[in-house]
Structure 1
Amino acid sequence: MNAPAPHDHRRLGRELGLFDTDPLIGAGLPYWLPDGAVVRHALEEYVRDVERRAGYRHVYSPVLGKRELYEISGHWEHYSDDMFPPMEVGGEQVVLRPSLCPHHAVVYRSRSRSHRELPLRVAELGGMFRSEPSGVVGGLTRVRAIQLNDAHVFCTLDQVADEAAAALELIRRAYEVLGIEPVRHRLSLPGPGGKYVAAPEAWERATALLTEVLDRSGLPYEAAEGEAAFYGPKIDVQVADAAGRESTLSTVQIDFHQPERFDLRYVGADGARHRPVMIHRSVVGSIERAVAHLVERHGGAFPAWLAPVQLAILPVSDAESPEAEELAARCLRLGLRAEVAEPGRGTLGARIRAARLVPYQAVVGPKEAAEGLVALRLRDGRRLDPRPAGEVLARVEDLVAARSPELWPAG
């Protein structure tokens, strides 16, 4: 087996205490340690926030469903090889879901819908499960229990192109904030020998719409046969890991199949019942794969808003420890994640080196303790003159709240 790359998330993730695995839990089932849980939570809150601002409504749905649900959606016929076996419960077969879209179709049809409600954007950060072979699982990029940033837009045919384009733009803006650079955009099409829904007209229409969206976006892209979902073509946003291996992080898909299978309807302006179109889209894909990519992209030096510890407080000696603890308490009240590196952990230089990935380091010496000042060191090597603690914390709070990629803008 090849040695991991320097920024391989599997090595860094364990060194930084983000996640780990255990044979008792099983292959492809990593668990999140406290610092990793902080990164994951911050990413999830960011995604929920941008989706809410873009007009999405969030739901929760069960991770289980009757086998019949996936028979209707087409997953059982086209995707069962990648699903876990059914469980017998109360005389019925229940399945761990491989996807959230059937549940969202049920959410849509839970009551009658009018054209005035469309587009209806339904989002969820939900669990799903894939029966991945033991030989391919590893780290966070290929796992069996997945937390997916998923959403489905139910819309009229004449709204499809605009909604798909808006989803692609949402992905672009999120990548800017997260510091993610896609290696390419792919128009994923069906290929020979695959298990695809037999609906040539729907495939042709969906492909034409996605091509229109990509052409309108101005993004370079290439078509790839054999990479489509079983129910329709998709736009895949591809990223590369530390070893140069490519994978899909985000997608936009157009689906005429499931609205028909679930008999989804809305009442049009003409008073007649019409079939909506279903757009599948994910801004950051699975949280596991997104965090893996962010670990490798930033080498563990996360943007301040994502960092497990945002401010390391370093009292020069035990005499300054009370003021350091009070500063940490002030950070907590402001919603900042701070940790005191006590003198017992080593020399000041050793403690500074140990906190090298922390965005901000606040050195508290006798002068700072006596006058309520903070001498701030930035992760990029800059040192700021001592300033009132309130002023420093307010600035850090603003930068974190804005999810700024800059540690401390000049000026």
Structure 2
Amino acid sequence: MRVRENAGQADHRRLGRELGLFDTDPLIGAGLPFWLPDGGAVRHALEEYVREAERRAGYRHVYSPVLGKRELYEISGHWAHYQDDMFPPLEVGGEQFVLRPSLCPHHAVMFRSRPHSYRELPLRMAELGGMYRSELSGVLGGLTRVRAIQLNDAHIFCTLDQVAEEAAGALELIRRAHAAMGIEAVRYRLSLPGPGGKYVAAPEKWERATALLRQVLDASGLGYEEAPGEAAFYGPKIDVQVADAAGRESTLSTVQVDFHQPEQFGLEYIGPDGARHRPVMIHRSVVGSVERAVAHLIERHAGAFPAWLAPVQAIVLPLSDAEHPAAAELAARCTALGLRAEVAGPEHGSLGARIRAARLVPYQLVLGPKEAAAAEVAVRLRDGRRPGPLPAGAVLDRIRAAVAAHAAELWPEGVAD
């Protein structure tokens, strides 16, 4: 009973609404949540983190349409193997268009649109893009099962000899992101094909792709389990599993090796021998869908997000109306430094009431007459520590440094003293 109670208390659907992060409305439709300002701030911070991490890792960012002609998905194999999860085609001018269930066909076409040399490989193409799944109403819930998904997706086009290193690099990006988010994988899964006709019939390609991913996992030293029946229709994958408060597992991050779509789309590059060669396509997602990632963050942290993700990172608390101008100025300095800051003055209640109301804010900056006169601030951390009063400039520099470093610790030593 206690486990169920705790799971209910940590349910992201309840917490997300109570914290003003997201909501739904029947007029918009089931499985189509909208993001409120605080939820938008969390989402934006997560998106900016992963874009920058990818940029530093050598990825180039692209944009592609959320629609494609039905023929695109017939070539990729989605129409034959994934049609039940796709929305029906839209008839436009005698042609059929489909809301995309995946970004990979678009990226394959983008690679094909220009000639490539082996000197350009690996070519790492990333996009935070929308995709759509025709989920049944009975399985929809909060942010974990939705019909409109923003996926942190990327495709690496590389030579066969580069696959292991690129897949290992993707796993390292995933590890770093999870550490910054303050979450942990419960297990790593090598997802393999199972019986039935939902997989591409190409035994040799499956064996080669599976051997490569097994090599990557073995070299990483990570323990993993094989899971027949959990592969993508076109190839095996490494799934990074997380669990909610009730112990239910879901896949957050993935790395996949694909020999199928490069062949289907006729992808080529010119090798050192001057001949045409087929690249390998690695699919990878560092944080998975933004919706599922934020759902897990809500439950993992119960709204007390790491400082870099918090909707409001610093709240300035003037003791009285006399300190309000100094408080407004301090909040403006926070904003100029790229921090999300607000002022909560006496009109919102006593200092104690305001501190309790701001219990999830990482940094509470209290300004009394002495602090205002001395250009100092009394710092209260969310965990109860009080490293102050300190010069206001030094406090803001330290907060900015901790946020920029995506530090798990609120007041890390050595970040900015």
The alignment's TM-score, normalised by the length of structure 2, stands at: 0.97
Superposed CA offset, 1:167-207 (max 9, x none) = 11111111111111101000101111241100000001101
Match of 1:261 in 2: 264
Match of 1:191 in 2: 194
In the alignment, the residues of structure 1 paired with residue 225 and residue 305 of structure 2 have an alpha-carbon distance, to the nearest angstrom, of 31
- Written as runs of structure 1 = structure 2, the 5 A alignment for 1:78-89 is 78-89=81-92
The partner residue of 1:104 within 107, 114, 118 is 107
In the alignment, the residues of structure 2 paired with residue 139 and residue 4 of structure 1 have an alpha-carbon distance, to the nearest angstrom, of 15
The partner residue of 2:385 within 362, 382, 385 is 382
Match of 2:33 in 1: 30
Please say if residues 4 and 11 of structure 1, whose CA atoms lie closer than 8 Å, have aligned partners that are also in contact.
no
Please say if residues 311 and 362 of structure 1, whose CA atoms lie closer than 8 Å, have aligned partners that are also in contact.
yes
Match of 1:129 in 2: 132
Runs of at least 4 residues off by over 4 Å: 1-4
The partner residue of 2:76 within 70, 73, 76 is 73
Superposed CA offset, 1:115-172 (max 9, x none) = 0001100000000000011001111011000000000000011111111111111111
Deviation of 1:64 after TM superposition, in Å, equals: 0.3
Deviation of 1:385 after TM superposition, in Å, equals: 2.2
3-state secondary structure, aligned to 1:202: helix
- Written as runs of structure 1 = structure 2, the 5 A alignment for 1:39-58 is 39-58=42-61
Please say if residues 194 and 226 of structure 1, whose CA atoms lie closer than 8 Å, have aligned partners that are also in contact.
no
The partner residue of 2:402 within 371, 388, 399 is 399
Please say if residues 402 and 412 of structure 2, whose CA atoms lie closer than 8 Å, have aligned partners that are also in contact.
no
Match of 2:343 in 1: 340
Match of 1:120 in 2: 123
Deviation of 1:266 after TM superposition, in Å, equals: 0.4
In the alignment, the residues of structure 2 paired with residue 2 and residue 324 of structure 1 have an alpha-carbon distance, to the nearest angstrom, of 40
Deviation of 1:409 after TM superposition, in Å, equals: 2.3
1:70 maps to amino acid: Y
The partner residue of 2:162 within 137, 159, 162 is 159
In the alignment, the residues of structure 2 paired with residue 69 and residue 12 of structure 1 have an alpha-carbon distance, to the nearest angstrom, of 40
Please say if residues 69 and 96 of structure 2, whose CA atoms lie closer than 8 Å, have aligned partners that are also in contact.
yes
In the alignment, the residues of structure 2 paired with residue 242 and residue 40 of structure 1 have an alpha-carbon distance, to the nearest angstrom, of 21
Structure 2 alignment gaps of length 5 or more: none
- Written as runs of structure 1 = structure 2, the 5 A alignment for 1:352-367 is 352-367=355-370
Superposed CA offset, 1:214-238 (max 9, x none) = 1111101011111000000101000
2:184 maps to amino acid: E
In the alignment, the residues of structure 1 paired with residue 283 and residue 48 of structure 2 have an alpha-carbon distance, to the nearest angstrom, of 20
3-state secondary structure, aligned to 2:8: coil
In the alignment, the residues of structure 1 paired with residue 252 and residue 62 of structure 2 have an alpha-carbon distance, to the nearest angstrom, of 22
3-state secondary structure, aligned to 2:207: helix
Superposed CA offset, 1:251-301 (max 9, x none) = 000000000000000000000000000000000100000011111111110
Match of 1:316 in 2: 319
In the alignment, the residues of structure 2 paired with residue 53 and residue 297 of structure 1 have an alpha-carbon distance, to the nearest angstrom, of 27
The partner residue of 2:244 within 241, 249, 273 is 241
In the alignment, the residues of structure 2 paired with residue 16 and residue 384 of structure 1 have an alpha-carbon distance, to the nearest angstrom, of 27
Superposed CA offset, 1:16-50 (max 9, x none) = 10000000010000000000000000000000011
The partner residue of 1:307 within 306, 310, 328 is 310
3-state secondary structure, aligned to 2:361: coil
Q: Compared with structure 1, are the counterparts of its residues 288 and 91 closer, same or farther at alpha carbon in structure 2 (3 Å cutoff)?
A: same
1:281 maps to amino acid: R
Please say if residues 29 and 145 of structure 1, whose CA atoms lie closer than 8 Å, have aligned partners that are also in contact.
yes
Identity %, equivalent residues: 80
2:378 matched to 1:372? no
C-alpha RMSD of the superposition: 1.2
Please say if residues 104 and 152 of structure 1, whose CA atoms lie closer than 8 Å, have aligned partners that are also in contact.
yes
Structure 1 alignment gaps of length 5 or more: none
Q: Bigger shift: 10-19 or 170-179?
A: 170-179
Please say if residues 85 and 133 of structure 2, whose CA atoms lie closer than 8 Å, have aligned partners that are also in contact.
yes
Aligned residue pairs total: 411
1:90 maps to amino acid: G
In the alignment, the residues of structure 2 paired with residue 10 and residue 242 of structure 1 have an alpha-carbon distance, to the nearest angstrom, of 12
Deviation of 1:410 after TM superposition, in Å, equals: 4.5
Q: Compared with structure 1, are the counterparts of its residues 268 and 48 closer, same or farther at alpha carbon in structure 2 (3 Å cutoff)?
A: same
Deviation of 1:4 after TM superposition, in Å, equals: 5.5
Match of 1:213 in 2: 216
3-state secondary structure, aligned to 1:27: coil
In the alignment, the residues of structure 2 paired with residue 409 and residue 285 of structure 1 have an alpha-carbon distance, to the nearest angstrom, of 29
Please say if residues 190 and 239 of structure 2, whose CA atoms lie closer than 8 Å, have aligned partners that are also in contact.
yes
In the alignment, the residues of structure 2 paired with residue 385 and residue 334 of structure 1 have an alpha-carbon distance, to the nearest angstrom, of 20
1:370 maps to amino acid: A
1:201 maps to amino acid: E
Superposed CA offset, 1:72-115 (max 9, x none) = 00000000100000001111100000000000001101111100
Please say if residues 132 and 143 of structure 1, whose CA atoms lie closer than 8 Å, have aligned partners that are also in contact.
yes
The alignment's TM-score, normalised by the length of structure 1, stands at: 0.98
Deviation of 1:7 after TM superposition, in Å, equals: 1.3
